[in-house]
Amino acid sequence: MRGYLLRRLLLVIPTILVVAVFTFGLLNITPGDPAAMMAGEYETPEDIEKLRRSMGLDKPLSQRFVIWIGQLARGDLGNSIRSNMSVSKVIIGRLEPTISLTILTEIIAITVAIPMGVLAAWKANSWVDRSVMGIAVVGFSIPVFWLGFMMIWVLSLNFHLLPAGGYVRIFDGFGPYFIRLIMPAFAAAIVMMALLARITRASVIEVLQEDYVRTARAKGLTNKVILFRHALRNASLPIVTVIGLGFAGLLTGIVVVEVVFAIPGLGRLLADAIKARDYPIIQGLILFLSAIYILVNLLVDIAYAYLDPRIRY
Amino acid sequence: MTTIRVLSLFFLIALATAAISIACGGSTEIVEKEVIKEVIKEVPKEIIKEVLVTKEVIKEVPVDKIVKEEVVKTVEVEVEKVVIATPSAFEAKAIDQASDGRYGGTLKTVSQASIGTIDPISSSAWVAWAVSTQIYDVPFASDGSFAIKPQMVDTWSISDDGLVWTFNNRADLEWHDGDAVTAEDFEATLLRAFDSYSVGWKELGARSTVKVVDNDTWSLNFTEPFGLVFDAMNFNTEGFPIQKKSIIKDTPAERGGGVLKEHVGSGPYQFKEWDVGNRIILDRFERYVSRSDAPSGHAGAKHAFLDSIQYYEIPDVQTRLSMLETKQVDFIDTAPLDFFEIMRDNKDINVYTDPIGRWPVMYLNHYHPPFNDVKARQALMASIDMGAIMAAYGAPAIQGLCPAVFLCGLRWDSKVGEEFYNQNDIPRAQALLAESSYDGRSIRAMTPVDQPTIHPILTVSESNIKAAGFDLDLQYVDWATLKSRRVKPDDWDIFTTWGAAANASPLTNNLGMGTLNGFSSDRITDLREEFFTSTSEEDKKSLVDQMQMAYYEEVPYIRIGYFSGIHAAGVWVRGFDPRALWPGYWSVWLEN
């Protein structure tokens, strides 16, 4: 296992390098120019060229890439073109909202979806199963932004139960911090709940057909023990995969929720940076998120080994 | 009570002294001389307390000089008495604040867009100015009727030949970090601004040199008279935000790299914290000395009633309105136009329109055909139904038509050429196009779908433009793509945007010359030069009329009408002056 971990960690470096090359290349060949983004229509072409020179955009692509890789090797992601702030500092500042929202989303999704999936599997092909799966389809189909606005309208504007949006950092008060995450977390969790419920159902149904489950029934074990001690654990591999990749996906995919509820997270940062063609932020953030994906995949693989003793690396 | 204590103390000391004397023996005659020194400490009348302080002072004398050993014991008794003293200016202010119910509270305002920088000299972005207008003070500013008034400047003089303008600053100017504002800061700021994006600032920089006369005095020195000094210093009505020389010195001179990292100003609010992507916090600058004239627009007194102002970034417009309705925020800078009627009908919300408005405009590419031909440009202008475009912006209360190229109702309003405005005359457009060299090529017109205040221009005009005979290729792009493509002359024929207060003066509105569209005109250049050097208001007005006629005849771009920017505030937000172009919160207070 140790050797496996070491090999996986060493693979991070070439993987990040490949991502860096692709990111840099794609950004620079797509239409868009940070200097043009900053310029107003009263500026002359000479003004804009001056801007490009001051940003280093007049240098050849290869030279800019080498400069950037050199910075990366020193752990420097550069400075934002718009604000002149360190990219690392900007990303770190946005981590807390996104991670908070992601964790709460996952907790809600797991808490609701897994029991739903297990129930549907246990009562497969019954009205219970069809109802649960129907709810899952609705969950897939609801646009997240619509759900978000509906929740604001009902819970904030009409019943004054929850704030309409915004974010308060955890050290500024846990109550205000938590209460503002409830609606966005529910809105983001809907799709994941639906997916997780379906995966859980399919996986548990498969396991319930195994011989050892028949043996467990024959031994007189209760349904609860059969489901949660025998079946669920063996069905957990695909569930864990979805949870792990869902976590990584939520870090950027949650942008719609962040926009609707005004949460200053990584998803919004990426969207704003793309609109402004803020190359250092886009590049830095993509590299950061790639590293997160790699780490999450590694943790999922480790979880496999824990859940299934037959898996050894 | 105090007297009793003093006497008691005297007795004790005397007793102690006697005891010591007896113990020590000796034949020296000891004479005790007691001095009671009353120390008066001035305190405000609210503070009354009694503090007794004793201090024993023994004076030693050489032995051979001793005839009598005089032991001087000074007993200091601190007596606190109410003394009516004149408070310092800041103490007076603190007393005023404590008794004036308007002071206090935090204003939560929603910024118009994502905030990239709050350095207004490196960026013309609305949000940069909206925040920095609270932080930086200005030499001159526009009041509510757009008259230019002194702010940081106290007095000024102009030499007889009009070539030297000398400005004396107020002596009470202070940076937020405690340093005094000096003339060198003004010099550094102006030089930085002269190299920036503003047409007006560049014009001033090209015609003058800045000199520091003494600590509080600076001058602009011209080689020929320039009739628009105040206008040039008053870009966008807000003026030159004066920045600190030592901070400018550490910033690269070129734009792009030249964004200040520190935000130390001398205005009524000081920068406290920036949680990037979430909010910016400004706190009241307690040592700010306001002018005493009445507040009006950006000029006059700035009271800073609020303890703090927080600017929030909330990207979704519906969420902004929801947060205002639930009182999570107090103010929305630039609310969406299509919410105007909803907000106006809400009894808990006040809606304000900004004083100048925004001016939708169609830019034409003069670098290549067809719009390098004036007839083609005139044909396009003739085909446009401006009323239909402006109707797409919403309620009549917040939009309208205006033929004045330097804006209606302001200083350089003119009616000349208005017969060419809003023609909506397809036969005339067809005739003009037939006279032009237009060869039927496709016209690439970019419209940004993510900008609701720009998108209607071309989408509403499309049918008219085609009816005039143009083969219009209407391209739906996002704003970022439009901005990227418009700097490449071969990539577009028409793009749309809107302008604001810079349109109001011939100084800052150069009718599109030398910009992205490649337009140039000797006629307009000569008229502007004459305007700059003229010192007669009447001559200037005549020149404005001529420039407007030149605009309608040469059609550098096509300006449509105007729509008002609207701000929304909870009814508990009091004292807001909508005549300031950027929302100024210096006279705002929160009720309850």
Q: Do B258 and A54 touch (CB under 8 A)?
A: yes
- Structure confidence at residue B1 as a pLDDT band (50, 70, 90): very low
Q: Do B487 and A36 touch (CB under 8 A)?
A: yes
Q: Do B315 and A259 touch (CB under 8 A)?
A: yes
Nearest to B333 by CA among B587, B577, B575, B569: B569
* Residue B46 confidence (pLDDT): 41
User: Nearest chain A Cα to B313, which residue?
Assistant: A262
As a three-state string, the secondary structure of B342-406 is HHHCCCCEEEEECCCCEEEEEEECCCCCCCCCHHHHHHHHHHCCHHHHHHCCCCHHHEEECCCCC
Average pLDDT on B379-406 reads 92
Q: Do B487 and A164 touch (CB under 8 A)?
A: no
pLDDT at A274 over 90: no
Average pLDDT on B312-337 reads 92
Higher pLDDT, B283 or A275: B283
| Closest CB to B326 among A33, A89, A164 | A164
| Closest CB to B277 among A160, A165, A268 | A268
Per-residue pLDDT reduced to its tens digit, B278-303: 899 999 999 999 998 888 888 899 98
* Residue B78 confidence (pLDDT): 52
Average pLDDT on A116-128 reads 91
- Structure confidence at residue B402 as a pLDDT band (50, 70, 90): very high
Q: Do B319 and A42 touch (CB under 8 A)?
A: no
CB B6 within 8 A of CB B36: yes
Average pLDDT on B349-365 reads 89
Interface predicted TM-score (ipTM) = 0.83
Q: Do A262 and B323 touch (CB under 8 A)?
A: yes
pLDDT at B33 over 90: no
Q: Which residues of B touch A277 (CB under 8 A)?
A: 480, 484
Report the distance separating Cα A224 and Cα A232, nearest Å.
10
| Closest CB to A54 among B124, B257, B515 | B257
- Structure confidence at residue B364 as a pLDDT band (50, 70, 90): very high
| Closest CB to B252 among A31, A40, A54 | A54
* Residue B203 confidence (pLDDT): 84
Report the distance separating Cα B33 and Cα B160, nearest Å.
74
The residue written with tokens 């503003």 in the block is B198
* Residue B507 confidence (pLDDT): 80
CB B488 within 8 A of CB A52: no
Q: For residue B170, report the phi and psi dihedrals to the nearest 5 degrees.
A: -65, 145
- Structure confidence at residue A40 as a pLDDT band (50, 70, 90): low
Which conformational region is residue B105 in: left (phi greater than 0), alpha (psi within -120 to 50 degrees), or beta?
left
Query: Among A152-156, A158-162, B12-16, B336-340, which is the least confidently predicted range?
Result: B12-16
Q: Do A42 and B123 touch (CB under 8 A)?
A: no
* Residue A39 confidence (pLDDT): 66
- Structure confidence at residue B458 as a pLDDT band (50, 70, 90): very high
* Residue B509 confidence (pLDDT): 82
* Residue B581 confidence (pLDDT): 75
* Residue B94 confidence (pLDDT): 58
- Structure confidence at residue B479 as a pLDDT band (50, 70, 90): confident
Average pLDDT on B545-549 reads 96
pLDDT at B59 over 90: no
- Structure confidence at residue B243 as a pLDDT band (50, 70, 90): very high
The DSSP symbol for B120 reads T
The fraction of chain B above a pLDDT of 70, given in percent, is: 80
Query: Among A14-18, A261-265, B382-386, B547-551, which is the least confidently predicted range?
Result: A14-18
Average pLDDT on A155-168 reads 94
| Burial letters A248-266, b for 16+ CB under 10 A, else e | bbbbbbbbbbbbbbbbbbb
The fraction of chain B above a pLDDT of 90, given in percent, is: 51
pLDDT at A48 over 80: no
* Residue A306 confidence (pLDDT): 79
Whole-number average pLDDT of chain B: 83
Q: Which residues of A touch B497 (CB under 8 A)?
A: 41
* Residue B20 confidence (pLDDT): 45
Mutation target for B interface from A38, A79, A91: give the one with most B CBs within 10 A.
A38
* Residue B49 confidence (pLDDT): 41
pTM of the predicted structure, to 2 decimals: 0.80
Q: Do A262 and B502 touch (CB under 8 A)?
A: no
Number of residues in chain B: 592
Q: Do B484 and A275 touch (CB under 8 A)?
A: no
Query: Among A111-120, B255-264, B329-338, which is the least confidently predicted range?
Result: B255-264
Average pLDDT on B69-84 reads 49
Q: Do A272 and B277 touch (CB under 8 A)?
A: yes
* Residue B26 confidence (pLDDT): 39
As a three-state string, the secondary structure of chain A is CHHHHHHHHHHHHHHHHHHHHHHHHHHHHCCCCHHHHHCCCCCCHHHHHHHHHHCCCCCCHHHHHHHHHHHHHCCCCCECCCCCCEHHHHHHHHHHHHHHHHHHHHHHHHHHHHHHHHHHHHCCCCHHHHHHHHHHHHHHHCCHHHHHHHHHHHHHHHCCCCCCCCCCCHHHCHHHHHHCCHHHHHHHHHHHHHHHHHHHHHHHHHHHCCHHHHHHHHCCCCHHHHHHHHHHHHHHHHHHHHHHHHHHHHHHHCHHHHHHCCCCCHHHHHHHHHHHCCHHHHHHHHHHHHHHHHHHHHHHHHHHHHHCCCCCC
Report the distance separating Cα A54 and Cα A34, nearest Å.
11
* Residue B570 confidence (pLDDT): 96
pLDDT at B240 over 70: yes
What are the strands, taking DSSP E only, across B122-260? Answer: 140-142, 148-150, 153-158, 164-169, 208-214, 217-222
Average pLDDT on B405-427 reads 92
pLDDT at B565 over 80: yes
Average pLDDT on A198-222 reads 88
Q: Which residues of B touch A35 (CB under 8 A)?
A: 256, 487
Q: Which residues of A touch B117 (CB under 8 A)?
A: 82-84
Helix locations, B208-244, DSSP H: 229-232
pLDDT at B220 over 50: yes
Report the distance separating Cα A21 and Cα A65, nearest Å.
8
Q: Which residues of A touch B111 (CB under 8 A)?
A: none
* Residue B15 confidence (pLDDT): 56
| Number of Cβ within a 10 Å radius of residue A141 | 10
Report the distance separating Cα B585 and Cα B330, nearest Å.
12
Q: For residue B488, report the phi and psi dihedrals to the nearest 5 degrees.
A: -110, 105
Type of residue numbered B116: G
* Residue A311 confidence (pLDDT): 72
Report the gap between the CA of B212 and the closest CA in chain A (Å).
Answer: 28
Higher pLDDT, A259 or B199: A259
Average pLDDT on B336-350 reads 91
* Residue B66 confidence (pLDDT): 40
Q: For residue B561, report the phi and psi dihedrals to the nearest 5 degrees.
A: -145, -140
Distances (CA, A) of B445 to B459, B486, B551: 10, 11, 21
Report the distance separating Cα B19 and Cα A290, nearest Å.
88
Higher pLDDT, B194 or B461: B461
Average pLDDT on B70-89 reads 50
The residue written with tokens 């005089």 in the block is B70
Nearest to B521 by CA among B549, B556, B489, B471: B556
Is residue B446 exposed (0-12), middle (13-18) or buried (19+ Cβ within 10 Å)? buried
Query: Among A24-33, A208-217, B435-444, B461-470, which is the least confidently predicted range?
Result: A24-33
Q: Which of A97-106, A202-211, A213-222 reaches the highest mean pLDDT?
A: A97-106
Query: Among A60-64, B108-112, B365-369, which is the least confidently predicted range?
Result: A60-64
* Residue B12 confidence (pLDDT): 58
User: Nearest chain B Cα to A257, which residue?
Assistant: B316
pLDDT at B522 over 80: yes
pLDDT at B55 over 80: no
Higher pLDDT, B148 or B378: B378
Mutation target for A interface from B483, B491, B559: give the one with most A CBs within 10 A.
B483
Helix axes A266-276, A232-253, angle to 10 degrees: 40
Distances (CA, A) of B21 to B7, B27, B58, B71, B227: 21, 10, 14, 11, 90
* Residue A65 confidence (pLDDT): 86
* Residue B89 confidence (pLDDT): 52
pLDDT at B201 over 70: yes
User: Nearest chain A Cα to B314, which residue?
Assistant: A262
Report the distance separating Cα A112 and Cα B87, nearest Å.
66
Q: Which residues of A touch B363 (CB under 8 A)?
A: 41
The answer, yes or no, to whether the previous bond of B506 is cis (omega within 30 of 0) is no
Average pLDDT on B150-171 reads 94
pLDDT at A210 over 90: no
The fraction of chain A above a pLDDT of 90, given in percent, is: 34
Q: Do A164 and B483 touch (CB under 8 A)?
A: no
Q: Do B277 and A157 touch (CB under 8 A)?
A: no
Higher pLDDT, B199 or B420: B420
Radius of gyration over every alpha carbon of chain A, rounded to an integer in angstroms: 24
pLDDT at B61 over 50: no
Q: For residue B444, report the phi and psi dihedrals to the nearest 5 degrees.
A: -85, 110
Report the gap between the CA of A249 and the closest CA in chain B (Å).
Answer: 21
Higher pLDDT, A178 or A14: A178
pLDDT at A298 over 80: yes
Report the distance separating Cα A116 and Cα A139, nearest Å.
13
Whole-number average pLDDT of chain A: 86
Number of residues in chain A: 313
* Residue B308 confidence (pLDDT): 96
pLDDT at B418 over 50: yes
Report the distance separating Cα B465 and Cα B442, nearest Å.
12
- Structure confidence at residue B511 as a pLDDT band (50, 70, 90): confident
The fraction of chain A above a pLDDT of 70, given in percent, is: 97
Q: Do A167 and B278 touch (CB under 8 A)?
A: yes
